[in-house]
Amino acid sequence: MKIFLARFLSTTAFTGLFPIAPGTVGSLVTIVILWFLPALSTAWLLGISVVLFFTGIWSAGVTEKAMGVEDPGSVNLDEDLGMVVSIIALPKTLIWWGVAFLIFRFLDILKPWPAKQSQAVGGGLGIMIDDVIVAIYTNLLLQAVRFIF
């Protein structure tokens, strides 16, 4: 039961088993769910981020160990967390959230420093932390654009 629950959570209700771009699917599922919720304050998004982070450390770690594969591609809860962090304090508009989605996905694939190096931590923390770093980059970039324009 523990492994099933961990796999269910770490793969975002098994969307991580999608054969093509499971990380993108996870990000998309998250942003669509958040879009249809009433406007969430920055505090709520931060709270959701904390819950996803610690849930992800546990569930991704258990899933990784159960599968015997380092950072399994099916684990996409880290992308969910990344999307939430990417949109914190951004206006809830299709443009801002759409651009956040695109930049986050691009940076998650590119893995700029220190995101790539952070994966060496290993386990659930290693799986989650690179997406947090990339999401912070995404958010800071978009906040700078908002400030300038």
- Is the alpha carbon torsion for 47, 49, 54, 55 positive or negative? positive
pLDDT digits (tens, 9 = 90+) for 38-79: 888 999 999 999 999 999 999 999 999 999 998 999 999 999
Is pTM beyond 0.85 here?
yes
29 confidence band (pLDDT: 50, 70, 90): very high
Average pLDDT score over residue span 7-11: 97
Q: What is the DSSP string of 30-78?
A: HHHHHHHSPPPPHHHHHHHHHHHHHHHHHHHHHHHHHHT-SS-TT--HH
Quick one: tokens of 33? 């769910």
Cβ contact 127:71 at 8 Å: yes
Cβ contact 137:110 at 8 Å: no
b/e map 31-65, b = 16+ CB within 10 Å: beebeeeeebeeeebeebbeebbebbbbbbbbbbe
